[in-house]
Structure 1
Amino acid sequence: MKGGIGLGMLLCCLAAFEAKAGCTAAGIASPAGYGSISSTLVRTVPQSTSSSNSGLTCTPGGISLLSEAYFKATITPTGPGMVGPTGDVITYTIYANNSTAHPITRGQAFDFASNGLLGTSAPSVIPLYFTTAVNNVAAGVYTETLNIRWDWKYCTGLGILGVCLGYDTGADKHSTLTVSMTVANDCTISAPSISFGSAPVVSAFSTISQTISVNCTKGSAYTVGLGDGTHPVSVGGRRQMISGSNYLAYDIFQGAGTTRWGSVGTAARRASSSAEVNPGNGLGTGSQIFNYNAKIYSDQSTPPAGSYTDSVVLDVGF
């Protein structure tokens, strides 16, 4: 009698510790979107994003995974990365956690369990993390669709003696995950100030010859404009420096010529194709140089002595 009662109690207790759990692989996982990033940042600084759910969803619970458990992801294709409208590619690395400690090699199974990333229970979801290399690319939308094969096995319940009461398994289950980024046109500009120095009369000021350096997104066609300053005679007219209530008229001209460099109208602006150095579309990794000359008009009366200044806005249009 005592032996029979003891066996019944053991069966009771074994059943009491059983837990129901299971995993499923969704057809479409949460996308990993970088959003809109300037081409300058894409070219100079690694960018990071993540997918909150890479496709595998499990019923969580405080159940030991045991040494034989595995949650394996095999990610394909093996390359090349996010592809844009001109064929440029943004390469990136996939990580199993939000550091660089666990990179995932495409085409090879990565086990989240054996790498110690899941703790002691089945995961509710498994996120993935993405960090780009620096890439010199044209503007546009870049995408790649990843296929993730899931294989898993883990214990869904333990008895009082530590015996596994059942397993949940899955093999060759698939999810797709889209990685995307919008690369926005951008430029870096170097435009030194113009200093005419000093002179006793307007006719004694020398013409200044200088350059503006512009580095814009790879493949971008753009124009460069110079505003009329803060005190123009009229829109598109002479620019003027000011000292108190007095003015000194001057202007900025394209290249070494006499065509005024302005901001409104095709002739007033300078196209990237007209650069003196590296004419054409933007290079991304190299600058285009625009020459100009600036002079003070000699057909005006010499104003009172003083320090005359103006501020001109340089703009780039795509």
Structure 2
Amino acid sequence: MSLARLLVALLLALGVPGVAQAASYCTVSNPAFTFQPSSSYDVQAQTIPAINGSAGLTCNASAIALLGTNYANATMTSANGFKLLTGPGSDAIPFSVSADQAGTIPFTQGGTVNYTDSALLSLGILTGGTFTPKMYMKLSAGPNVAAGTYTGTLTVAWSWNICIVAVVVCVTSDTGTGTSTIVVTLKVNADCKITANDVSLGSAPLASQFGMATKAVLTDCTRGSSYQVSFTAGGNTSARPWRAMSDTGGHSLQYNIYLPDGVTIWDQSNPQTNQANGGKGTGLVSPAQQQTYKIGVNPAQTTPPAGHYTDTVSVVLSF
């Protein structure tokens, strides 16, 4: 009788510690998600690539099996309602978060996603003894925003019950809770656009008979950004005292580009603040800020041989 009691006591002594001292196989982390730095026009066009990474929970063991009673629940809240901001009252860039690349299992404010769902497991987040849920993020709208670093904070409350397997038997379960704080970042860079058409000064028998023409280029830059406008020297080494058009025979016709006063040479040594909207860009995709200039031939030069004279000048925006 005493022997039987001794055997039972030994079995209990061998069995109890294995349950009471079960190892922790799952850990919670605070991953960061960073979109590719892009221009404000990329934001509007929604051409910024989607990003993905760890959802914040990782389980590692010799083997894991997810049975009908197991779960890995992620409940998400967004501090800014799934918007990236530069600060209170600032521009907002909406974004979306999902548990799958196709976006068919989205996260909502206060909503819960169970990563043991068969549709998610089919994506390969469970491999042998590794369980690695992922998140996918992309911009969900294309607003016209100012340059800056935009951030958002997601809080994910985790609860899980994961079956740890030895051979074919579920020997224990890792059950726990934890919180991931995920910071999402997008740096928006300033950018500019230009529309500049070719200019023809017509024809005249003498250099002194060319009139001065008034023209304009259309420009714009990221909303709220300041920029300056200038013109390169073209084919000449300098715009001063004259730029020069040339023909195929190497002959030159002197001319210049001026500020609207028709007197002050407009080149890269004399950049001018954007003439529209108080010097600030509006961020419109099609540039509409008019930069007026005058262009004229040097009337005092000796008239070169008849021919077709051209020069290529670039418009430079500095921002």
SS of aligned partner of 2:279: coil
Report Cα offsets for 1:186-205 as digits up to 9, x if no partner.
01110111122332222333
Which aligned pairs between 1:138-287 and structure 2 lie closer than 5 A? 138-157=146-165, 164-171=170-177, 173-232=178-237, 234=238, 236-243=240-247, 244-255=249-260, 257-264=262-269, 268-272=270-274, 274-275=275-276, 278-285=277-284, 287=288
Secondary structure of 1:298's partner?
coil
Tell me by how many angstroms 1:25 deviates: 0.8
Conserved? CA contact 1:253–1:261, under 8 Å: yes
Alpha-carbon shift at residue 46 of structure 1 (Å): 4.1
For structure 2, the 5+ residue unaligned runs are 1-17
Any idea what the Cα deviations from partners look like across 1:241-271, whole Å, max 9, x if unmatched? 112321101111223643322211xxx2221
1:273-312 aligned within 5 A: 274-275=275-276, 278-285=277-284, 287-312=288-313
Aligned counterpart, 1:112: 115
Listed one character per residue, the Cα deviations across residues 134-190 of structure 1 (whole Å, up to 9, x for unaligned) are 121111211222221111123222775xx744322223x111121111111101110
State how far apart, in whole Å, the 2-side matches of 1:118 and 1:226 are.
Answer: 59
The sequence identity of aligned pairs, in percent, is: 33
Q: TM-score by structure 1 length?
A: 0.81
How far does residue 212 in structure 1 lie from its aligned partner after superposition? Answer: 1.0
1:183 is aligned with what amino acid? V
Corresponding residue for residue 8 of structure 1:
none
Residue pair 1:223, 1:270 contacting (<8 A) in 2 also: yes
1:116-131 correspondence to structure 2 within 5 Å:
116-119=119-122, 123-131=130-138
Measure, in 1, the Cα distance between the counterparts of 2:203 and 2:239.
27
- What amino acid does structure 2 have at the position aligned with 1:170? G
AA paired with 1:130?
M
d(CA) in 2 for partners of 1:39, 1:111: 36
Q: Is the 8 A contact 1:221 1:281 kept in 2?
A: yes
With the length of structure 2 as denominator, give the TM-score of the two structures.
Answer: 0.81
Output the CA distance in 2 between the equivalents of 1:112 and 1:287.
49
Q: 1:68 to 1:206 in 2, by over 3 A?
A: farther
CA RMSD, aligned part only?
2.6
Is the alpha carbon distance of 1:124 and 1:304 closer, same or farther for their aligned partners in structure 2, counting shifts above 3 Å? same
The worse-fitting range, judged by mean Cα deviation, of 70-79 and 190-199 is 70-79
Q: Is 2:79–2:152's contact at 8 Å kept on the other side of the alignment?
A: no
1:21 Cα deviation from its structure 2 partner:
7.2
One-letter identity of the residue aligned with 1:283: T
- In the alignment, the residues of structure 2 paired with residue 208 and residue 60 of structure 1 have an alpha-carbon distance, to the nearest angstrom, of 78
Runs of at least 5 residues in structure 1 that lack an aligned partner in the other structure: 1-14
Other-structure match for 2:10: none
Conserved 8 A contact 2:78-2:152: no
